[in-house]
Amino acid sequence: MKKIVFTGIWMACVLAGNAQEVRRVSATEALTIAEQNRKDIRNQAISESIATNEIAKINARKAPQVTASLDYRYNMQLQRSVLPAGTIRPDAPTIIPLGTKYNITTGVNASYDVFNPANRSDIKYAQKSIELEKANTKKAVVDVRQAVLQAYYDVLLGQEKVRFSSENLKRTEQYYQEGRVKYENRTILKSDLDRLQLDMQNARITYEEDRKNLQLGQLYLANQMGLEPEARVEASETLETILQGLPEVNNIQRTSEQRVEITQEKLKLEQNQLDYTRQNKAYWPTVSVFASWNAQHLNNNFGPFDANTWYPYSYVGLKVNATLFDGLQKERSKTEYRFRAEQNQNTLAKLQSDLNYEWESAKVELLNIREKLKTAQENYQLAQQVVQTDSLRFGEGKITAAELKNTEYSLATAQNNLMASYYNFLVARLKYKKAIGEL
pLDDT-based confidence at 17, cuts 50/70/90? very low
What angle, rounded to 10 degrees, do the helices at 401-435 and 329-395 form?
150
Handedness of CA 22, 27, 33, 37 (dihedral sign): positive
Q: What is the pLDDT of residue 168?
A: 93
Kindly list the structural domains of the chain, giving each domain's residue range(s) and its CATH number in brackets, ordered by start.
18-63+116-285+329-435 (1.20.1600.10), 65-114+288-321 (2.20.200)
Burial of 420 (C-beta count, 10 Å sphere; 0-12/13-18/19+): middle
Give the neighbor-by-neighbor strand order of the sheet with 310-321: 65-74, 102-115, 286-299, 310-321
Handedness of CA 41, 47, 52, 53 (dihedral sign): positive
Average pLDDT value for residue range 287-313: 90
Tell whether the model's pLDDT for residue 36 goes beyond 50: yes
Tell whether the model's pLDDT for residue 20 goes beyond 80: no
Torsion from C-alpha of 393, 394, 397, 400, nearest 10 degrees = 120
Q: What digits encode the pLDDT tens for the residues 378-405?
A: 999 999 999 999 888 888 888 888 888 8
Residue 154 φ/ψ, nearest 5 degrees: -65, -35
Q: What is the pLDDT of residue 359?
A: 87
pLDDT-based confidence at 14, cuts 50/70/90? very low
Tell whether the model's pLDDT for residue 9 goes beyond 50: no
38 SS3 class: coil
pLDDT-based confidence at 247, cuts 50/70/90? low
Q: What digits encode the pLDDT tens for the residues 168-196?
A: 999 999 999 999 998 988 888 898 899 89
Q: What digits encode the pLDDT tens for the residues 343-353?
A: 999 999 999 99
Q: What digits encode the pLDDT tens for the residues 49-66?
A: 999 999 999 999 889 999
